[in-house]
Amino acid sequence: MSLEVIESAIPVVYARLTGDATVSGMVAARVFPVFAPTGTALPLIVTQINGVDRDQSLTGPVGRPTMTVAVTLYATTYNEVRKLARAVRRALDGFTGTVAGATVQRTTMTSESDGFEPPGDGETMPSAYTVSQAYELRIVETI
């Protein structure tokens, strides 16, 4: 999957996760923006932007938004999803640098919680243990 969204946190997160040997060893390229296709094998990761906070000056936007990104991990066992959560945290938390065409000034994990999703009526997806993580990324934009 190639993501070409300019100056967004999603391609940054995708590149960091699929480029990390431990994470990609567990999920391969099963990292999806917003939702995973029906029937996708577990484990997998879904990412989405939950908010964007844009700093302003007297003349307008500063060009360094802080984006809140939700990263939800799915696996068939609790141990597997916890191992994946640790690997994802290590790949993302504290990252600074340039990746996927974006300059990241900071990445901070802000929360993490466990969960479980039973299959719904008529769904083909198996039940899954989940971990939901939230990160804040400050990205330099071209104004």
Q: CATH number of the domain at 79, please.
A: 3.30.2000.10
Q: Largest alpha-carbon pair distance within the chain?
A: 54
28 located within any domain: yes
Pair of tokens at residue 140: 């330099």
26 domain residue, yes or no: yes
Residue 4, domain member (yes or no): no
Query: So what's the pLDDT on residue 131?
Result: 98
Alpha-carbon distance values, 21 to 51, 84, 92, 104, 125 (Å):
29, 12, 13, 21, 26
Domain annotation covers residue 1: no
How far is Cα 14 from Cα 20, in angstroms, rounded to an integer? Answer: 10
Q: Is residue 100, in this structure, part of any structural domain at all?
A: yes
Residue 142 is predicted with a pLDDT of: 65
User: What is the reported pLDDT for 124?
Assistant: 60
* Domain tally, the chain: 1
pTM of the model: 0.88
Q: What integer pLDDT is reported at residue 38 of this predicted model?
A: 86
Whether 2 maps to a domain, the answer reads: no
E-assigned strands of 1-143? 31-33, 44-53, 56-57, 60-61, 66-75, 97-99, 102-117, 128-140
Rounded Cα distance, 76 and 74, in Å: 7
- Domain extent, residue 28, equals 9-140
Tens digit of pLDDT at every position of the chain (143 positions): 444 445 578 999 999 999 999 999 999 999 999 999 988 999 999 999 999 888 788 888 777 889 999 999 999 999 999 999 999 999 999 999 999 888 999 999 999 999 998 877 766 667 899 999 999 999 887 65
